Structures are given as structure tokens and as C-alpha cells.
Structure 1
Amino acid sequence: MAETAVDIFIDKLVPLLREEGNLLRVIHKEVTSIKDLLRSMMSFLKDADAQAKRANMSSGVKTWVKQIREMASHIEDACH
């Protein structure tokens, strides 16, 4: 009787663990993608800061840089 209960438990547990493993793999890929995006955004912002010191940027570019900076900050907050 106890063996049957354990067998039933294992039969239900194994698919759940497989599904959990699959979800973790997907999440890992998504987090890696988000980190790559954040690195690109940070590189852009570094270049924009350097360019801003050399010349006047248009108000449109300044707005765009501000929006990207805010988005990068939100992504960092979500990852921590």
C-alpha cells in the first residue's frame, strides 16, 4: 500500500519537475537577453554622455537619452 502511494506520488512529481526545469531554462534565456539589452543601453548612454560633453545635443536627442536612461534604470531595478 505504501509503495503504491509512493509510486503515484513519483508519477505525479516527475512531470512537474520536468515542467519546472523547462520554465527555468526559458527564464534563464530571457534574463540573459535582458542583460544583453541592458549592456547595449548602457553603452549607448556612455557614448551619449561623451558626445554631450563635446557638443550641444538637440532637445529630441536629450529626451531620447533621458527615456533610455529611465528604462535602463527600471530594468536594473527589476533584475535586482
Structure 2
Amino acid sequence: NATERMVAANQLRERMASDVGLHSKILCDTMDNRISKLFAAHPERLVVLKGVKVIFIGGKGPFDYSIDDLESFLQKQE
């Protein structure tokens, strides 16, 4: 349910902050998976938003995306 999704997202956000010092917002999809469908993100996809604009979208996971590409992109944004 939506509450479980939000609890899990909050736990991830807290772990990212405590383990790697990354402080960011995490957004949860609706229960009808509207955003997942919009970005063809099933089962997973790495997406970076700046405000309401998509500034990075990786390949479909788990086999067609690259954490290294995401890290490189984020370093260039600093």
C-alpha cells in the first residue's frame, strides 16, 4: 500500500544520508504505478529530476543501466 511505499522510501533516504552523506528527496509512485509506466521503468530505472524537469534517465534495469554513468552525471552537476 501507499504507506508502506512511503515508509520504505524514507528508510532509504535515511540510509543514504547516514551511510554516504547523500541528502536528497525520494518520490514515491502512486499505487497504479503511473510514473513507472510513464518512464517505462519496470522493474527499475535511474532517473534524476531537477525541480520538475528530468535531467537524466538511465536505461532499463537491471541489465541496461549504469551506476557509473549516473555517478559521472551527478559529479558534473556539482
Instruction: Normalising by structure 2, report the TM-score.
Output: 0.30
Q: Whose relative contact order is higher, 1 or 2, with alpha carbons under 8 Å and at least 6 apart?
A: 1
TM-score, structure 1 normalization: 0.29
* More strand per residue: 2
Name the structure where helix makes up a greater proportion of residues. Answer: 1
If you compute each CA radius of gyration, which structure gives the higher value, 1 or 2? Answer: 1
